[in-house]
Each structure stands twice: as structure tokens, then as C-alpha cells.
Structure 1
Amino acid sequence: MAERNPTREEEFLVQQHAYRVNAFQFIHKMLTWCQTNETKLLMDEMLHSIFFLAKICSVPFAPEEIIPDNSMLQALLEKYPKPVRHLSQFPKRTPFSSVLDMVLLKEEPENEARVRRSLQDIVTSLEATFPVSSTVCISQNTRDPSSRRHYGVSMSTTGCNPRGLMIAASCCGPWDDYVAGAVMTFLSNKRKKRTTPEFDGAFKLPEYVRCEAFDISTGERKAPCRSCGNMFGLPTEEIKEWPYGNCAEAESVSNLLKHESEVKTDVIIPSPTGTDERRKRVQHDVCDKLKDVVRNVPLQFNWRGDFYTA
């Protein structure tokens, strides 16, 4: 008898199982690191992101399915009650971004090798799937060799729906406006019906900026994909385009531009249509479209444009 191909729902159930296993491992490991107010805030943020993304999966599931031990779940929710009470708010980031910040608090951010090794230890102990990021990126102003490193990880989501929603939501709030504008340029260009004016917010980072990505599991350097080349002017010979905004470069460059005004001043936006006014109008359009979309996801809530704050 010919081997039966799994149905789409069966494939989602396999992904769901991996998500539950990984999410539980995340929560268990991060709880052991929660010794300060900062780490407790990151734990709160990570829990909300995990529970929110679980709810908008094609096959949604509840916190009870991630933490089946009822006494353990209740103890966790007594300590962190907000995440499940505010699932109508968007997380600002995917879970692994909170894990990254946990690592940066635990290690010295200037010691890239230790940071990357800690991330590697976490990733290799889990299944390589949602909500695990595959890539870490470091951006730095090389004019000052001792300057701060700005880290970012790829979107730790699986499936077009959660990933697309998180990318659009990041453009509406958490990301630096230049990065959001670059991503939205390509989001809006893919629409058949445009309600906003022509806009091109793609930009070129100054040559003195280092923006380098690595595979978390193997430690190997990863060249920028064509999407990052198009958005940020990063030199690359890669042809493959990942979904715009998915890569670790987006979060890393956003953190760089948010904290280093000198670098942002030197950014070049070649197109005359990449103005602040047009960027704001496109952002407004993206946020309106996002509000429409979330009404049809499994969670079915009326998002008002607000983001969760731990």
C-alpha cells in the first residue's frame, strides 16, 4: 500500500508538539535565571509572547497544553498573572528575543563568543523549530572598536500567519522607524491595491557599520540574504529572499539605530519618496491592515494597536 502523505492538520499537530516541548523548556530554563527585576520582566514578556503565538497558530492551543501540570501552571500564573490576562495585546517581540536579552544580562555583551555560545547551548538542547531562532546578528559602529554591540535574532515563528503578523506588528511599533520603513517598503509593494502613496524607505548603512550574522547552532557566518541587501544596502551575492523583516539583521539594525544617533544621521535613504511623512502614512496603512487581519485569526480579538508591556 502506498504511504499516505500527512494532512495539513497532522503536520500542524507535529509542529504544535515541538512548540509545546520547546516552550516548556524555555520557561523552565528561564525561570532558573530569574533572580533580578530585569530578568523577571523578561520572563513576563516571554510568557506573554509564547501564549499569544500559541493562540494564533493554525491549530491554536492554550497555556494548559504547554504546561500540563496544573499545580505548576497555577504557581507560574500566580507569579506572572498578566500574560494570560492580556492576550488581546500584541507582543513587542517573539519569545527568543526575550531569551537573547536574558543571555545578555547573564553574559558580558562585549564578549560575543560567550553570548553566541550561550545561545548555541540553548538552541542545540531544543528541537530546531518554533519558537527557536536560527540566526543571531551583531551590529556595531566600527569607528570605535570598544563600541557597544547590538544584537538581534531572527523571527522565532513558524508559518506565514504568525510570522507575517509579527513582522507587521514590529513595523507598527517596536522597530526603529528607518527599519520599519525599509521593511514596509516591500510589504506594501506586494499589495495589489495600494491605498498609500508611492514609498521607498530602503536605506544604506554607513560603510563603517559592521552587520554580521551567524547560524546559532553551528556558529558559521551567514551572508546577508537578498532581502537584507535590498532593505539595508548590505553587500551580498545571495539570490535567495527571505520574508522581509524575518532575518536577524532587522532587529539588530533597529537596536543599533535606536541607540546610536551618529550612525542614524549617516544613514542614506536614496529614494526621494522615503520621507518621514510618507513613512508615517504607510505605517498607518500597515497597522490598519493588521487590525483587519487579526479579526480573522483563531484568537479573534479586536486589536486597537496597543502592545504588551511587562
Structure 2
Amino acid sequence: MQEFMENDSPWLQIFIMSANQFVHKAMDIFISAANRGDLEPRRANAYIKEILHIILFYGQINCPKVDPVDILQGNTDLLLRCFPDVFERCRTHLPTRPPFTVLLDAIVDIVGRRQEQSVLEFLLLQINEMEVPNAGNGLCKNIFVSAVVNFCYFNDEATGLRRENYFGASVTCAGSTQRKIMIDILCYQTWQRDISWAVCIGNRYNRNAFTFPCQVHSMAFNIYTRGESTHGPIARRAPCQKCFIMFPDIEFELRPPEDEHIFWEYGNCAEYESLSQLLNSHPEIASRLHRNRFAIGHEELLTAKYERLEYNLQELQFEYGHEFSFYNSQL
């Protein structure tokens, strides 16, 4: 393995080291939490399987492909015995969300949904230990760590009390085509229907798809702070202009700069995941959304996402069969 690392490109080395570090650090977090009694063993096992599958899947859609044995280095045999289905299905089944979203979800599970500061501090401590060496003998960001984390909540109309937080992270992938693949998976398979609709409408019309019937608050943070104290303040950040266009009625903590030019497409930001969780958890809010009218239908836009996903997977020679299958870590 050392010879392989020395003879390959710096980018491929960073990919492999990031993947290896992310898998093993996440496993340490889940196993330690289960041993402390902070996480049910069954849930810890499912989180491990899901992250392992996603990372190995990314190896299969990387250019060049990276085999599981190269990602996991010396631990392949043990993991293969424990999770044989992961190694089989990373070559045929799609994940349903990025690895950092799974890690964030697990940490919220461990710490508690209402403890936003504790979630952010715990998360920051873990990701600062996921850095990998670069060519200059320094450290660089793990490529599977999101740059931004967001949480949202709403105030209960009946009681006026603040409800629980819903967390999300920006999409992390190694490559622009891989990022499109993950955004299309999220829209087609994972996110709440109205959120996926909003992403499609944003990309087609650069307009918002709906407004909320209640006051929703949103806060975003730059979570990666290499070189700063892991116990220092976590920097709040404004939403990007695209999120401000997409969700004009949300109470954002900060406003985006007016001259901001965003190069990524709708669906990349952390806000989508957190709002999807909110609407999935509160269908009564989703049923009262004020939806704007458009000439093109929801199914037609989702079909376009499906077709782009299909095209990009074929371009990267991922053999998924006659139709998409999605990996389920609960089985």
C-alpha cells in the first residue's frame, strides 16, 4: 500500500487518505458512543454500514476507480467478515445521502437534537482530527468533511414555544460530476418531496417554489476551522444568494452579500437537508405550504434528475443494472 501511495497522484493520495480517515474516525465515534450507552448498538451498527458503503461507493465512481482494499488498507478482512453486503453492494447500489450527513445525524442522535451548541462543538472536535497530510508536509481538509452545517426550527403557533432543531450539512463529493450524482440522488430518492421540487424549480427558473405557513428560523455555520482552536467560537455565516432566493420568508440569522456570485447549483447547501428533515417530521406544515404555480410538473422535473443521474453513472462506468437500487443499512 505504501508503494501505491507514493507512485500515484497527490489528488488520489488525498482521496484515499481522506476516505480511510473518515471511515475509521466515524467508526471510533459510533463504537465509543455505543460503549458509553449514548447510542443504541443497533443504530451504531447501521451508521457504520451506511458510511462504509458511501465511501466505498465513492471509490467506485472516482476517476480512476479505487478498490475497497486500497481505501481500507489493513482492515479489509475484518470489515469484510462483519459487513459482507457492504462490499458487494458498493458496486451495484446507490447511497441515499453523503457521508458527512450520516456523521452529523449520528452526532445529533448521540448529543441531543435541542443542544445545538453541543452538537457543533462535538462535531468540530471530531473533524479537526480527520485532517490528512498533504504534499507540503502539512495538513489539509478531509475531502469528505462539509464546509457548512445548518440547523433550522420553527415556533409552535399554538404555544409560541420553539420546537426542536433540524440539522443539515452541505454536500461533499470528490469531483463536480460526483457532486451532481449526489444532488440528483438526494432530489430523486431522499429529500422531502417539496424540497426536491424547490431544487428543481430553482435550477429551472431561478425562483422559489413555495413559502412556509409558519415562521421558520435558520442558522448556518462554517464548521471547518483548521488552524484555530477546537474550543473557540464557531463562525456563523450568511446563507448564499441562492438560498435567499429559494426561501425568501425564512428568518435567516444573517443576510448574504448582495454582490455574491454563486457557482454551485441549487441543492448543494446545508439548508436543504435541514428543511427536508423539518418537513418530514412535521407533515402538517408540508400540507400547508403556499406553493407557486409553474407550467412544468413535479414528475417531469424529477424525471430530468433521474436521466442526468443515469447519464453520469454510465459515464463513470458504475454498473447499477436495469434500474437504480439504493443501499439500506438497516437490513
- What TM-score do you get using the length of structure 1 for normalisation? 0.84
Q: CA deviation at 1:207?
A: 5.6
Report the equivalent of 1:162.
178
Tell me whether 1:226 sits opposite 2:241 in the alignment: yes
Within 1, Cα distance between the matches of 2:14 and 2:242? 26
* Alpha-carbon displacement from aligned partner over 1:21-56 (angstroms, at most 9, x marks no partner): 433443442444455111211111111111101211
Q: Is the 8 A contact 2:59 2:66 kept in 1?
A: yes
Within 2, Cα distance between the matches of 1:306 and 1:187? 26
Q: Identity rate of aligned residues, in percent?
A: 23
Q: In the superposition, relative to structure 1, how do residues 304 and 228 fare at CA in structure 2: closer, same or farther (>3 Å)?
A: same
Q: Is the 8 A contact 2:154 2:214 kept in 1?
A: no
Report the equivalent of 1:205.
212
**Letter in structure 1 aligned against 2:41:** T
User: RMSD in angstroms over aligned alpha carbons?
Assistant: 2.4
After superposing the two structures, state which structure 1 stretch, 87-96 or 213-222, moved more.
Answer: 213-222
**Letter in structure 2 aligned against 1:255:** Q
Within 2, Cα distance between the matches of 1:211 and 1:296? 37
**Letter in structure 1 aligned against 2:289:** V
Q: Is the 8 A contact 1:89 1:307 kept in 2?
A: yes
Q: Which runs of 5+ in 2 are unaligned?
A: 1-7, 35-39, 132-140, 226-233
Q: Is the 8 A contact 1:90 1:306 kept in 2?
A: yes
Within 2, Cα distance between the matches of 1:286 and 1:303? 17
Tell me whether 1:152 sits opposite 2:168 in the alignment: yes
Tell me whether 1:299 sits opposite 2:318 in the alignment: yes
Q: Is the 8 A contact 1:92 1:307 kept in 2?
A: yes
Q: Is the 8 A contact 2:146 2:224 kept in 1?
A: no
Within 1, Cα distance between the matches of 2:284 and 2:50? 30
Q: CA deviation at 1:116?
A: 0.8
Q: How does 1:133-148 map to 2 (within 5 A)?
A: 133-143=146-156, 144-148=160-164
Paired residues in the alignment total: 288
| 1:67 match: secondary structure | helix
Report the equivalent of 1:282.
301
Q: CA deviation at 1:156?
A: 2.1
Q: Is the 8 A contact 1:137 1:211 kept in 2?
A: yes
Q: CA deviation at 1:289?
A: 2.8
Q: CA deviation at 1:283?
A: 0.6
Report the equivalent of 2:188.
172
Q: Is the 8 A contact 2:111 2:119 kept in 1?
A: yes
